Structure 1
Amino acid sequence: MAIAEVTIIPVGTGSTSLSSYVADMQRVLQQQEGIQYELTSMSTIIEGPLALVFAAIQALHESPFGAGAARVSTSIKIDDRRDQPSSSQQKLRSVQEKM
């Protein structure tokens, strides 16, 4: 299972506030099947099969354009571990066990 951290920034919106765009993107994620996701204060974490994660990211990237943004900048980090099952929560537990 792949774990992706995605930050999508609408540019040219005429406002410094992005929360309405973030809310729209969370609604887009609710419609995606086969993934899990978590909103954080600075990004969104998406987990699932790599093809479905990429499909979700593409849908997220398109969302601000539909809401009037003239430009969208998307940053993606992907952790695709195939030697053992992994999840965002498992990664956090592993660090906490070592503290």
Structure 2
Amino acid sequence: MAIIDFVVIPVGTQTPSISKYVAEVQTILERYKQQGDIDYTLTPMNTQVEGDLSTLLSVIEEVHEVPFKHEDINRVSTNIRIDDRRDKQRKMIEKIDSVNKHL
């Protein structure tokens, strides 16, 4: 199981706010979650998703396209980090629990 975090940044929006684009991305993620393919968490700075790496890469491709559906957006910058650990199956919450044990 892999964990990714990403942020999709539409360039050239009418206002500094991108919350409507973030909401559209969350709708896509919820669809994948309901199918049992991923789990995800929205944070103030990014979105974190866990699942099979090939599924996650498909998710990234789909969410990257979200801002382009708006006719005024012609450029999108998507930042992605991937944590792909192969010796253990760990969920996002388990990583947090591991850190909390040391506090």
Is the counterpart of residue 57 in structure 1 residue 60 in structure 2? yes
For 1:47 and 1:67, the matched residues in 2 are separated by 28
Q: Does structure 2 retain, via aligned residues, the 8 Å contact 1:25–1:60?
A: yes
- Which of structure 1's runs of 4+ aligned residues deviate more than 6 A? none
Distance 1:6 1:87 in 2: 17
When the two structures are aligned, how many residues end up with a matched partner?
A: 99
Structure-to-structure mapping, 1:34-53, within 5 angstroms: 34-53=37-56
> Percent of aligned positions with the same letter in both sequences?
43
Structure-to-structure mapping, 1:1-99, within 5 angstroms: 1-32=1-32, 33=35, 34-68=37-71, 69-99=73-103
**Offset, 1:13:** 1.3
How far off is 1:85 after superposition? Answer: 1.2
Query: Aligned letter for 2:6?
Result: V
Shift of 1:47: 0.4
The amino acid of 2:49's aligned partner reads: I
Shift of 1:67: 2.5
| RMSD, matched Cα | 1.0
Point out where structure 1 has 5 or more consecutive residues left out of the alignment. none
Higher mean C-alpha deviation, range 76-85 or range 32-41: 32-41
Q: CA deviation at 1:88?
A: 1.0
Counterpart AA for 2:81: K
State the 1:15 CA deviation. 1.1
User: 1 CA distance for matches of 2:15 and 2:42?
Assistant: 21
Q: State whether residues 13 and 70 of structure 1, in contact with CA within 8 Å, keep that contact through their aligned partners in structure 2.
A: no
**TM-score under structure 2 length normalisation:** 0.91
